[in-house]
Amino acid sequence: MSKSTRSIVLVALLLCAASASVFARGTGFAIGGEGGLYLAGNGGLPTSAMITFHVPQVPLMFGVGVNQPFAIAATADYWAAHGNLPSVFAWYAGVGAYAAINTNGGSVTVGGRIPIGLQAWVLKQTLELFVEAAPAIGVSFVPTGFDWHLQAAVGLRFWP
């Protein structure tokens, strides 16, 4: 898939998500972006730009991203604990899963992760800024083996 084709697909996904937010006001829908970072380990998610979103009535936070040369990554996290801190700050911790496919290196990896995040709520409860670390362990199918790593993300989510 060429760079321009990937860009068109990403823009189309963003437009679809943005238009969906018009119909989701006050329902628990969230959409945003994050920079997914690879901090340590021997495999897992590639460093990439990711779209992050929450679907009403589904207790998961999702992330989908692409990188060049073509790699795709996805996360799904359940926030098991959440609390408020002084001022506009809050925290969360949970369990989740990830999958990554890298066509350049031919790797396919799936695994579990433990996301731990710090949030800052600006504009009341409408705009969330966050930073997250997620220790993870997984299985790589190409080449075969176990992977461990530390994933991280910095981003924002809009809760209309």
Q: What pLDDT score was predicted for residue 27?
A: 60
- Please state the three-class secondary structure of 82-142 as a single string: EEECCCCEEEEEEEEEEEEEECCCCEEEEEEECCEEEEEEECCCCEEEEEEEEEEEEEEEE
Mean pLDDT, to the nearest integer, of 102-127? 87
Q: What pLDDT score was predicted for residue 65?
A: 87
pLDDT(146) > 80 = yes
Mean pLDDT, to the nearest integer, of 105-113? 85
Q: What pLDDT score was predicted for residue 111?
A: 92
pTM of the model: 0.76
- Give backbone dihedrals phi and psi of 63, rounded to 5 degrees, phi first: -140, 140
Residues 6+ apart with CB under 8 A from 49: 33, 34, 35, 36, 65, 66, 67
**CATH number given to 3-158:** 2.40.160
The DSSP letter of residue 11 is H
Distances (CA, A) of 58 to 28, 29, 38, 74, 145: 9, 10, 27, 16, 32
pLDDT(119) > 90 = yes
Q: How far apart are CA 4 and CA 21, in angstroms?
A: 26
* Per-domain residue ranges of the chain: 3-158
Q: What pLDDT, in 10s, does the model give residues 10-64?
A: 443 443 444 343 333 446 899 999 887 777 766 566 667 889 999 999 999 999 9
- Give backbone dihedrals phi and psi of 104, rounded to 5 degrees, phi first: -70, -50
Place of tokens 């966050």: 130
Per-residue burial over 63-82, b = 16 or more CB atoms within 10 Å of its CB, e = otherwise: bbbbbeeebbbbbbbebeee
